[in-house]
């Protein structure tokens, strides 16, 4: 299943609804599940995608039945053309966006760091992005006055469907609801033009970290593909183009830490909750510096991941 959050294009101020993509149509799940309200155990109809995820086990059987009856009146009366919908980020306000730094060896190398050996014992490097950075498909990445060198990082993102703490690697898959795309847009030169700045010991790292936090710097979407649709998330081609030119080309099979390891480690530190996003790192070709690796006004980025889809965003300079 492909789960979306959408608004009608002719009503951009309307409330976002959870939906199910069927071909070139979107099924409005607030309509469909409202009709099935009496058969739902808790009697509540999800009004957003996050509440849908939290109680998805209740809705799955009913939705599966709809998929078997695609021409039913119940389904057709709740459908709109995909072209009539504006897709927002699949999860508008995720509780946590957890990102992995340095999870692909070639990206570590291009970033100027020593590449760990195959037998080296290393730990995962995690950081968070704020929910205010989230935007959806076709939304604008806004470059402001504090942005000097802005790069991209196309990543497979895991969407959590079941709450867990101290999850074992063996049980990790039962906590995965599905997958989407996240572009970890990054400011690479934050504070670099401040004159006479006295560099403190951690400034370089913290400037790098804060450069991940700007509003609009986490494009996400276009939808969530449920886990049952992706048999092997560790063998998916990743590609990014900027203005039609290929800048990233890789495969999720090159991850250093696999998804079960990521969930186990992250959940040993913090509780994972439905709607949380774990962005699994980026392959080689990320924008890490230089004129050709910095975004400019009008640039068009398309992130593509096999079996997931494509995420398109345009850059707007607001300086």
Query: Does position 68 have pLDDT exceeding 90, yes or no?
Result: no
Residue with tokens 């919908």: 85
Which pLDDT belongs to residue 3? 95
Mean pLDDT of 126-132: 98
For the structural domain made of 2-87, what CATH number should be given?
2.30.30.230
**What's the pLDDT tens digit per position in 3-28?**
999 999 988 788 899 999 998 999 99
Distance of CA 307 to the CA centre of its chain: 14
Q: How far apart are CA 242 and CA 301, in angstroms?
A: 5
Which pLDDT belongs to residue 143? 97
Domain ranges of the chain: 2-87, 97-317
Which pLDDT belongs to residue 272? 98
CATH of range 97-317; options 3.40.50.300, 3.90.850.10, 3.30.930.10, 3.40.50.460 = 3.90.850.10
Mean pLDDT of 138-153: 96
Residues sharing a CB contact under 8 Å with residue 56, sequence separation 6 or more, in sequence order:
161, 177
HEC-encoded secondary structure of the chain: CEEEEEEECCCCCCCCEEEEEECCEEEEHHHHHHHCHHHCCCCCCCCCHHHHHHCHHHHHHHHHHHHHCCCCHHHHCCEEEHHHEEECCCCCCCCCEEEEECCEHHHHHHCCCCCCCCCCCCCCEEEEECHHHEECCCCEEEECCCCCCEECCEEEEEEECCCECCCCHHHHHHHEEEEEEEECCEECCCCCCCCCCCCCCCHHHHHHHHCCCCCCCEEEEEEEEEHHHCCCCCCCEEEEEECCEEEEEEEHHHECCCHHHHHHHHHHHCCECCCCEEECCCCCCCCCCCHHHCCCCCCEEEEEECCCEEEEEEEEECC
Which pLDDT belongs to residue 16? 92
Which pLDDT belongs to residue 4? 97
**What's the pLDDT tens digit per position in 202-261?**
999 999 999 999 999 999 999 999 999 999 999 999 999 999 999 999 999 999 999 999
Q: Are 109 and 256 in contact (CB under 8 A)?
A: no
**Mean pLDDT estimate for the chain:** 91
Which pLDDT belongs to residue 72? 63
Determine what percent of the chain is predicted with pLDDT higher than 90.
Answer: 74
Q: How far apart are CA 115 and CA 117, in angstroms?
A: 6
Mean pLDDT of 72-96: 88
Which pLDDT belongs to residue 78? 84
**What's the pLDDT tens digit per position in 187-199?**
999 999 999 999 9
**pLDDT-wise least confident of 23-37, 91-105, 222-236, 259-273:** 23-37
Query: Does position 91 have pLDDT exceeding 70, yes or no?
Result: yes
Is residue 59 very low, low, confident or very high in pLDDT (cuts 50, 70, 90)? confident
**What's the pLDDT tens digit per position in 279-304?**
999 999 997 766 678 999 999 999 99
Phi–psi pair at 98, nearest 5 degrees? -100, 125
Q: How many CA atoms lie within 13 A of 49 on its CB side?
A: 32
């Amino acid at each position: 299943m492909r789960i979306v959050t959408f608004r009608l294009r002719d009503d951009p101020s309307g409330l976002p609804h959870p939906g199910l993509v069927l071909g070139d149509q979107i099924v409005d799940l607030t309509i469909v599940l409202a009709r099935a309200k009496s058969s739902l155990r808790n009697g509540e109809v999800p009004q957003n995608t996050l509440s849908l995820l939290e109680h998805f086990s209740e809705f799955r059987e009913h939705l599966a039945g709809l998929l078997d009856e695609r021409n039913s009146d119940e389904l057709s009366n709740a459908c709109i053309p995909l072209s009539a919908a504006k897709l927002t980020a699949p999860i508008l306000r995720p509780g946590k966006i957890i990102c992995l730094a340095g999870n692909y060896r070639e990206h570590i190398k291009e970033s100027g760091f020593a590449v760990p050996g195959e037998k080296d014992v290393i730990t995962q490097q995690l950081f968070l992005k704020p929910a205010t950075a989230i935007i959806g498909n076709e939304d604008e990445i806004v470059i402001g006055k504090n942005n000097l060198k802005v790069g991209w990082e196309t990543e497979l993102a895991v969407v959590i469907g079941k709450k867990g703490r101290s999850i074992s690697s063996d049980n990790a898959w039962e906590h995965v609801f599905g997958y989407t795309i996240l572009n970890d847009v990054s400011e690479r030169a934050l504070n670099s033009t401040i004159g006479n700045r006295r560099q403190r010991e951690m400034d370089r790292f913290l400037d790098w970290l804060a450069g991940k936090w700007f509003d609009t710097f986490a494009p996400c979407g276009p939808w969530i593909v449920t886990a049952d649709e992706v048999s092997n998330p560790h063998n998916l081609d990743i590609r990014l183009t900027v203005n039609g030119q290929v800048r990233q080309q890789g495969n999720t099979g090159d991850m250093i830490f696999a998804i079960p390891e990521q969930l186990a480690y992250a959940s040993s530190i913090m509780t994972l909750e439905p709607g949380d996003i774990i962005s699994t790192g980026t392959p080689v070709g990320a924008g890490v510096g230089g004129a050709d690796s910095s975004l400019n006004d009008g640039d068009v980025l398309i992130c593509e991941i096999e079996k997931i889809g494509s995420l398109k965003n345009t850059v707007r300079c607001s300086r």
